[in-house]
Amino acid sequence: MHRLTTAGRLPTGHVASRLVAVLGGVVLLACGGAAQQPAQGAQEDQHVDLRLGYQPNLTHATALVAVRKGILAGDLGSSVTLRTSTFSAGPDEVEALLSNSIDAAYLGPNPAINAFLQSRGQAVRIISGATSGGAALVVRPSISTPADLRGRTLATPQLGNTQDVALRYWLNRNNLRTTKEGGGDVSIHPQDNAQTLQTFRQGQIDGAWVPEPWATRLVLEGGGRVLQDERDLWPTTRGRFATTLLAVRTDFLRQHPTAVRRLLTGQVDADQLVNSQPADAQKTANDALGEITGRRLADQTIATAWTHMTFTSDPVAVSLTDSAQHAQDVGLLRKADLRGIFDLTLLDQVLRAKGRPPVTS
């Protein structure tokens, strides 16, 4: 994990990851949520530090662009100092949120669900969407059907992350068994995305379900082929499903609603820029990736990966319900009550102020 500040990039300690399974009721969603008034004693006129986490993936392009161009810092204003950290995968961000190391995070739906459930619905709220799409299973050219994967080894970013759940659910639907320990008909090895590219090229794994730009890199740099574009698994939403969401600690939301509203203003402004100026956004995102990882990607990689994603502040709420159900089906989550996980009140206020339709009716 790296922490970025206006003074540069500083290393911090590694945040241990873990998979959370909790008991609950039946999966339900409500797009209303926590009260928007400051908690008793909250001082909205005092200076606030807002600690934001995100990942160096193109599925986090809105965050990459918003931070790199100073959009978030500008919209937050002088009374809020933005401090950012990057993480390798969502479960690490969950640990940071629950340990009060960060206040908000761009992360996938399954880690967001785990954070909500681990805290019994108290610790976090999803306040916006960011990205739909941008995840795929890339395999060796010799693999042409799911049945060809029997006895093979695949990778995902981290046990219990959004792509890990998607792969296990897809394999299960194709009658291929997996275990959390890496056994079963198909062995799944969670590993860092950069390591996945290396092990794929070296022949140590046969494929991976990964977010962009890694799926495209496995094709262009690793010689792989797309066996399953995840967008094709969501026909009821016309290929739209939440890949990246923006979540915030509930305490921070209640104590500093003005700062959260300004954060959402930055998200919406960055979303508009990413969609209206894709060439500039691609360059900016690539520059940000280069700063974080030490290497810019080929322009072709960025441009190709970009076509696999849709950037939107709409969290595609229905897909979160299905993601939770998928995690339950593969044994990574017990039945749980997700009522209250969304709080889109401030997002709708920001959208209305900009003359745009709200995401809830």
Complete DSSP assignment for 67-109: HHTTHHHHHH-TTEEEEEEE-SSHHHHHHHHHTTS-SEEEE-H
What was the pLDDT predicted at 146?
A: 98
CATH 3.40.190.10 placement within the chain: 2-134+239-353, 135-237
Complete DSSP assignment for 328-351: HHTTSS----BTT-B--HHHHHHH
What was the pLDDT predicted at 360?
A: 75
pTM of the model: 0.85
Q: In the structure encoding, which two tokens stand for residue 168, read together?
A: 């296990």
3-state secondary structure of 54: strand
Q: Is the dihedral of CA 349, 351, 357, 358 positive or negative?
A: negative
d(CA 7, CA 240): 38
Per-residue pLDDT of the chain (361 residues; tens, 9 = 90+): 333 333 333 333 333 333 333 323 333 344 444 434 444 444 555 899 999 999 999 999 999 999 999 999 999 999 999 999 999 989 999 999 999 999 999 999 999 999 999 999 999 999 999 999 999 999 999 999 999 999 999 999 999 999 999 999 999 999 999 999 999 999 999 999 999 999 999 999 999 999 999 999 999 999 999 999 999 999 999 999 999 999 999 999 999 999 999 999 999 999 999 999 999 999 999 999 999 999 999 999 999 999 999 999 999 999 998 999 999 999 998 877 899 999 999 999 999 999 999 997 4
CATH for the 135-237 domain, from 2.40.50.100, 3.60.110.10, 3.40.718.10, 3.40.190.10: 3.40.190.10
CA dihedral 274, 300, 197, 107 (to 10 degrees): 0
d(CA 302, CA 285): 9
Residues paired with residue 278 on neighbouring β-strands, in sequence order: none
Helix (H) or strand (E) holding 41: none
- Whose CA is closest to 54, among 100, 16, 4? 4
Q: How many CB atoms lie within 10 A of CB 147?
A: 11
Beta carbons of 275 and 353 less than 8 angstroms apart? no
- Whose CA is closest to 131, among 350, 313, 2, 272? 313
d(CA 265, CA 259): 10
- The CATH code of domain 2-134+239-353 reads 3.40.190.10
